[in-house]
């Protein structure tokens, strides 16, 4: 099991809140952790120590060497174990009582920045889980965690070998599958009823939802666009728009 770095004040704070026991050591910039006033790193140091986290103060330049090149660590770098994925069958049960489950299924998103952005939107718009494939897709990396603003630590994420089979399992549990993709039978997303138990399928950058995955879906939604000169929407933007529409219909 390889270590994973979680960096940035927001993502580290969410990790400390959700799973402090998973942190091997939390490195904080001494210059900020010992600062007076309202420095968020100083506050994070207090919260982490109260949660029993092993906190070590280091010069800022040492954190620059620890974090990935060009990373904006903001004076906080946590070392934790490999990301713990959830079981697919457990996702629906995480929906709040009295609400229709919403699961986001990602078909081959390969950019960790896009993955992180989608996870953030999914969490903010009330999804109870996310499904990603093991192959031809990025996993939950340090970059994805930072891009999600720490949402990777707050929402259940399942990683599956076969996305079509995973969709079939979700459908067996009562979810309808809706692909956000161009298709002959696709309808404007606002005209579809997305208020019931739903698996929202979003495709990869450029390629979109693969044919076999698309055929497994019950519904196909398109996002109307006025401009046609730059191709389709970015995967994370398309996911955000679709998730907003689901939330709007549900009155969330």
Closest CA to 180 of 199, 167, 165: 199
For residue 21, what pLDDT is reported?
92
- Indicate if the pLDDT at residue 228 is higher than 70: no
Contact by Cβ (8 Å): 66, 35: no
d(CA 244, CA 252): 9
Contact by Cβ (8 Å): 107, 204: yes
d(CA 197, CA 207): 26
- Indicate if the pLDDT at residue 53 is higher than 60: yes
For residue 1, what pLDDT is reported?
46
- Indicate if the pLDDT at residue 227 is higher than 80: no
- Mean pLDDT of the 52-75 span: 91
For residue 105, what pLDDT is reported?
98
For residue 10, what pLDDT is reported?
92
Classify strands 176-180 and 102-107 as parallel, antiparallel or unpaired.
unpaired
Q: Domains in the chain, please, with CATH?
A: 4-80 (3.30.1330.30), 88-250 (3.40.1280.10)
Segment 86-142, tens digit of pLDDT: 999 999 999 998 899 999 999 989 999 999 999 999 999 999 999 999 998 999 998
Closest CA to 73 of 127, 11, 31, 141: 11
- Mean pLDDT of the 187-200 span: 96
Enumerate residues 6+ apart whose C-beta is below 8 A from 157: 83, 85, 86, 119, 129, 130, 131, 132, 140
Q: Quickly count: other Cβ atoms within 10 Å of residue 20's Cβ.
A: 18
pLDDT > 90 in the chain, percent: 74
- Indicate if the pLDDT at residue 183 is higher than 50: yes
Classify strands 23-29 and 55-58 as parallel, antiparallel or unpaired.
parallel
- Mean pLDDT of the 217-246 span: 85
Q: For the whole model, what pTM was predicted? A: 0.87
Segment 6-18, tens digit of pLDDT: 999 999 999 999 8
d(CA 179, CA 44): 40
- Mean pLDDT of the 187-193 span: 95
Contact by Cβ (8 Å): 151, 142: no
Which comes out higher in pLDDT, residue 51 or 35? Answer: 51
Segment 157-180, tens digit of pLDDT: 999 999 999 999 999 999 999 999
């Amino acid at each position: 099991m390889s270590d994973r770095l979680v960096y940035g004040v927001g993502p580290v704070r969410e990790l400390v809140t959700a799973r402090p026991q998973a942190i091997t050591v939390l490195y904080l910039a001494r210059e900020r952790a010992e600062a007076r006033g309202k420095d968020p790193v100083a506050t994070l140091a207090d919260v982490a120590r109260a949660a029993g986290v092993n906190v070590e103060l280091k010069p800022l330049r040492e954190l620059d060497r620890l974090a990935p090149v060009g990373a904006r660590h903001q004076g906080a770098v946590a070392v934790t174990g490999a990301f713990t994925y959830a079981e697919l069958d457990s996702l629906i049960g995480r929906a709040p009582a009295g609400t229709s489950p919403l699961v986001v299924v990602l078909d081959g998103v390969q950019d960790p920045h896009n993955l992180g952005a989608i996870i953030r939107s999914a969490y903010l718009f009330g999804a109870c889980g996310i499904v990603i494939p093991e192959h031809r897709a990025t996993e939950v990396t340090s970059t994805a965690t930072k891009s999600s603003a720490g949402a990777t630590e707050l929402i259940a994420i399942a990683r599956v070998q076969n996305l079509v089979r995973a969709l079939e399992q979700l459908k067996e549990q009562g979810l309808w599958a809706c692909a956000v993709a161009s298709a002959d039978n696709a309808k404007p997303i606002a005209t579809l009823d997305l208020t019931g138990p739903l698996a929202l399928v979003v495709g990869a950058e450029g390629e979109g939802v693969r044919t076999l995955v698309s055929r497994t879906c019950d519904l196909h939604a398109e996002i109307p666009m006025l401009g046609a000169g730059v191709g389709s929407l970015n995967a994370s933007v398309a996911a955000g728009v679709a998730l907003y529409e689901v939330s709007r219909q549900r009155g969330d």
